[in-house]
Structure 1
Amino acid sequence: MITFILNNKTIKTPENSGMTLLDFVRYQQRLTGTKIGCREGDCGACTVLVGTLNTKGILEYQSITSCISPLGNAHGKHIVTVEGTNLNDKLTTAQEAMKSNYATQCGFCTPGFVVALTGFALSNSENNYSTALDAISGNICRCTGYKSIEKAAHQVVEKLENKNTNSINWLIENEFIPQYFETIPQRLKAIEIKDLNQPKGKYISGGTDLYVQQADNLTNNSVHLIAEKDYLKGITIENDICTIGTNTTVSDLWNHSELNNYFPNLKKHLKLVSSEQIRNMASLGGNFVNASPIGDMTIFFLALNSDITITDKDEKERTIALKNFYQDYKTYDLKDGELLKNISFKLPNKSTFFNFEKVCKRTHLDIASVNSAIHILVENEMISEAHIAIGGVAAIPKYLHETSKFLTGKSLTSETILEANDILQNEIAPISDVRGTSDYKRLLARQLFFAHFTEVFPKQFTLKDFIQHA
Structure 2
Amino acid sequence: MIDFILNNQIIKTSAGAGITLLDFIRDFQQLKGTKIGCREGDCGACTVLVGELVDNSVAYQSITCCISPLGNANGKHIVTVEGINLPKELNTVQKAMVDNFATQCGFCTPGFVVSMTGFALENKINTTCNDAISGNICRCTGYKSIEKAGFEIEEKLQQRDNNHQIDWLIKEGFIPNYFETIAERLKQLKTQHSEIESSNRVKVANGTDLYVRHADKLADENVELLADKKELKGILFSEGVCTLGANTTVTEIANSTELQALFLKLKKFMKLISSEPIRNMGTLGGNFVNASPIGDMSIFFLALNSTLTIQKEDGTERHIPFQEFHQKYKVFDLQEDEILKSLSFKVLDANESFNFEKVSKRTHLDIASVNSAGRLSVKNNIVTDAHFAVGGAAEIPKYLHKTSEFLVGKALNAETVKKAEAVLQSEISPISDVRGASEYKRLLARQLFYAHFIELFPSEIELNKLIGQ
Please, what TM-score do these two structures have when normalized by structure 1?
Answer: 0.98
* Aligned-partner Cα distance in 1 for 2:349–2:130: 33
Does the residue aligned with 1:38 lie in a helix, a strand or coil? coil
| Number of the residue aligned with 2:3 | 3
Does the residue aligned with 1:442 lie in a helix, a strand or coil? helix
Sequence identity of aligned pairs in percent? 60
Identify the match of residue 175 of structure 1 among 173, 176, 179.
173
**What does residue range 211-226 of structure 1 map to in structure 2 within 5 Å?**
211-226=211-226
| Number of the residue aligned with 1:186 | 184
CA apart distance, 1:163: 1.1
Question: Contact 2:100–2:145 at 8 Å: present in 1 too?
Answer: yes
Question: Cα deviation per residue 1:29-62 (whole Å; 9 max; x = unaligned)?
Answer: 11100000000000000000000012x2221000
Identify the match of residue 144 of structure 2 among 125, 143, 147.
147
**What does residue range 221-236 of structure 1 map to in structure 2 within 5 Å?**
221-236=221-236
| Number of the residue aligned with 1:424 | 424
Does the residue aligned with 1:5 lie in a helix, a strand or coil? strand
Gaps of 5+ in 2: none
Question: Cα deviation per residue 1:329-360 (whole Å; 9 max; x = unaligned)?
Answer: 00011111100000000111221110000001
* Aligned-partner Cα distance in 2 for 1:349–1:149: 44
What do you get for the CA RMSD once the two structures are aligned? Answer: 1.0
Q: Which amino acid aligns with 1:177?
A: I
Aligned residues: 466
Q: Which amino acid aligns with 2:391?
A: G
* Aligned-partner Cα distance in 2 for 1:420–1:31: 57
| Number of the residue aligned with 2:332 | 332
Does the residue aligned with 1:154 lie in a helix, a strand or coil? helix
Question: Contact 2:412–2:461 at 8 Å: present in 1 too?
Answer: no
Residues 1:158 and 2:183 are matched in the alignment: no
Q: Which amino acid aligns with 2:403?
A: T
Question: Cα deviation per residue 1:412-438 (whole Å; 9 max; x = unaligned)?
Answer: 010000000000000000000000000
| Number of the residue aligned with 2:115 | 116
CA apart distance, 1:459: 2.6
CA apart distance, 1:201: 1.2
Q: Which amino acid aligns with 2:174?
A: F
CA apart distance, 1:197: 2.8
Please, what TM-score do these two structures have when normalized by structure 2?
Answer: 0.98
* Aligned-partner Cα distance in 2 for 1:208–1:66: 10
| Number of the residue aligned with 1:348 | 348
* Aligned-partner Cα distance in 1 for 2:276–2:270: 10
Does the residue aligned with 1:308 lie in a helix, a strand or coil? strand
* Aligned-partner Cα distance in 2 for 1:92–1:124: 18
Q: 1:261 to 1:45 in 2, by over 3 A?
A: same
Gaps of 5+ in 1: none
Question: Contact 1:2–1:196 at 8 Å: present in 2 too?
Answer: no
CA apart distance, 1:198: 3.4
Residues 1:135 and 2:132 are matched in the alignment: yes
Question: Contact 2:414–2:462 at 8 Å: present in 1 too?
Answer: no
* Aligned-partner Cα distance in 2 for 1:217–1:373: 35
CA apart distance, 1:460: 2.8
- Displacement over 4 Å in runs of 4+: none
Question: Cα deviation per residue 1:315-334 (whole Å; 9 max; x = unaligned)?
Answer: 01000000011110000111
Q: Which amino acid aligns with 1:221?
A: E
Residues 1:271 and 2:268 are matched in the alignment: no
Question: Contact 2:128–2:154 at 8 Å: present in 1 too?
Answer: no
Q: 1:60 to 1:196 in 2, by over 3 A?
A: farther
| Number of the residue aligned with 2:59 | 60
CA apart distance, 1:179: 0.2
CA apart distance, 1:462: 4.9
CA apart distance, 1:239: 0.9
